[in-house]
A and B are shown apart, each in its own frame.
Chain A
Amino acid sequence: MKPRLLPLGDSALLIQFGDQIDLEINRRVQALDSLLRAEALAGMIETVPAYATLLVHYDPLALTYEQVSDRIRAEMDRIESNATRAPRRIEIPVRYGGASGPDLEWVAAHHQLSLADVIHLHTDRTYTVYMMGFTPGFPYLGKLHPALITPRLDSPRPRVPAGSVAIAGEQTGVYPLDSPGGWRLIGWTPLRLFDPAGSPPFLFAPGDEVRFRNEAMDA
């Protein structure tokens, strides 16, 4: 599909690369994102990569829609070569099951797998941060092994502890803050995902590659 450029109101431009959760599509989103950020056009405020779209926020007092779309079209040709760049890799130590992952047993039973199988399927894979959202610092990671595709909770928990490693649909993620949440909690990491005073403040960024490592914390 040829990317489509569309206005989202009078101060943002949406670039649609597709309409599904697909790694190749998302790589092109990330590639255009990094090209636009490498030489920011004055008046382009920020970009927000999502699964299959990139949203460009701009200042309508500084730029017209045409100026923004001209710049985007100029970068389109360079996407393919930029899509091959090496992403940042992050490893996340996880304590699976028990009080750290209260839904691990349910997930295993649901798929008729052992706990060890679920942990193995979750750790034996490199995920991509397709996008961030929901709460500050929450990474949408994909895709899960098909054997782990799991429905959300029927009703969300009012409070999921920060650091919880969770799965839902074909996605996995880590809660950066205590917040309500409807994903199945399978583990917990001591890593801090959001530290306002840190540099950078967020552990993850869109486009990163992530692996989980099974760690017996008390060992």
Chain B
Amino acid sequence: MLEVIEASGLATIQDLGRKGWRRFGVPLSGPMDAFAFQAANLLAGNLSEAAALEIGGGEIELQTDQDCVIAAAGAGYSLSVYTWEFPLWDSCFVRAGWKIRLGKNGSGMWAYLAVAGGLDIAPMLDSRSTYVRGHIGGLEGRLLQEGDQLKIGKPRLPLLELSARTLTEDARPAYQEAPQIAVIPGPQNECFTDESLKTFFSSPYRVSTTSDRMGYRLEGAPLKHSHGADLISEGLTIGSIQVPADGQPIVMMADCATTGGYPKIASVIRSDLPVLAQCTPGKDSVRFSGITLQAAQTKYRVMMEKMRNGIVDS
């Protein structure tokens, strides 16, 4: 069992999301940086969808009462275990009684802590992901807090085989403070003036401090609609870029509403979502570039293959 000694910011339990319930208005949820989340699980010897801990914008300290193997991944955090510092993207063996801390360090927003065997909590609507606004999933549908006890599942392999593994550097996302983010235009790009489409692809957009797990609001050159900013509501997904009447784009993130009524100028591709997610609100800016659907899907496939093939003994 892992006990939460101290937690601040957005500390939640996530898995790969609540699939099958979006038709009822329940967001998918799941990790903000799905790459780091899955990598942490694979390093800990889990299936990529096992429940793990997400921390964003704050810090968390835990103590284990049993020997275990953990792996942390993400950006903007460092991992300390007992009295040692460990790099992210590594798995390590932790003795019963030791403390584990994910502390803010450097540029980035989200980190994941996976434990061999996964976090063994009861699913709600087929998922362990926490959706705080809807009080669904995780631990009572809320942020983790001091005193919470998280049961560890049964590891799939002996602990000694799982520790001291790493994900090679070339397989990790290229997190940056001013990244170029690839998008697939549409489906409502014709709702914008030609000039605004040019603006969108040529100006920097800063991630606003009002961003959260539901969406990243961007601040920059306003985009003009050619005929109104209202659409009858239709399905939305992670990465969809909605533009309301004020012309400032919003990229939908993990807790994305299932439907929305603003025109969507473009969608961030899956392989670039982790890089966008790790941008620091109020500080980092992004620029958008277009990509074809086929190229985007190939890029994603290559990224996921690299993750699976990039785990080696350290």
Chain A residues in the interface with B (C-beta under 8 A): 6-12, 14, 16, 19-21, 33, 45-55, 57, 60-61, 64-65, 131-138, 140, 177, 196, 201-202, 204-206
Contacts and interface: CB of A to CB of B under 8 A. Distances in A.
Given A14-B235, A50-B233, A8 B25 contact: no
Given A19-B232, A46-B23, A136-B26, 4 more contacts: A9-B267, A9-B270, A60-B300, A196-B136
Contacts of B21: 46, 136
Contact of A196 (B124, B268, B269): B124
Given A9-B239, A46-B19, A60-B301, A133 B269 contact: no
A196 B187 CA distance: 34
Contacts of A50: 232-235, 259
A137 B131 CA distance: 14
A8 B267 contact: yes
A131 B187 contact: no
Contact of B23 (A6, A51, A206): A206
22 contacts: A7-B184, A7-B187, A9-B237, A9-B240, A11-B237, A12-B237, A14-B235, A45-B19, A46-B21, A48-B259, A50-B232, A57-B237, A61-B304, A64-B297, A65-B293, A131-B259, A133-B259, A136-B24, A136-B26, A196-B136, A202-B24, A204-B24
B257 interface: yes
Interface string B286-298: 0000000110110
A14 B231 CA distance: 14
Main secondary structure of the interface of A (DSSP, over half): loop
Contacts of B136: 136, 196
A52 B187 contact: no
A46 B234 contact: no
A49 B240 contact: no
A137 B25 contact: yes
Nearest to B26: A136
Contacts of B184: 7, 9-10
A53 B22 contact: no
Which 7 residue pairs spanning A and B have beta carbons closest together?
A55-B235, A9-B267, A133-B259, A48-B235, A10-B296, A53-B234, A6-B187
Nearest to B185: A7
A64 B298 CA distance: 10
A8 B237 contact: yes
Name which of A11, A131, A136 has the most chain B CB atoms within 10 A of its CB: A136
Interface of B: 19-26, 124-125, 134-136, 184, 186-187, 231-240, 257-259, 264, 267-270, 293-294, 296-297, 300-301, 304
A180 to B, nearest CB: 11
Nearest to B188: A6
B291 to A, nearest CB: 9
B76 to A, nearest CB: 25
Contacts of A133: 25, 233, 257-259
A21 B240 CA distance: 22
Contact of B232 (A14, A21, A33, A49): A21
Question: In this complex, which of B187, B238, B240 has the most chain A Cβ atoms within 10 angstroms of its Cβ?
Answer: B187
B250 to A, nearest CB: 15
B23 A135 contact: no
A6 to B, nearest CB: 4
A47 B258 CA distance: 11
B293 A10 contact: yes
B166 to A, nearest CB: 24
Contacts of A49: 23
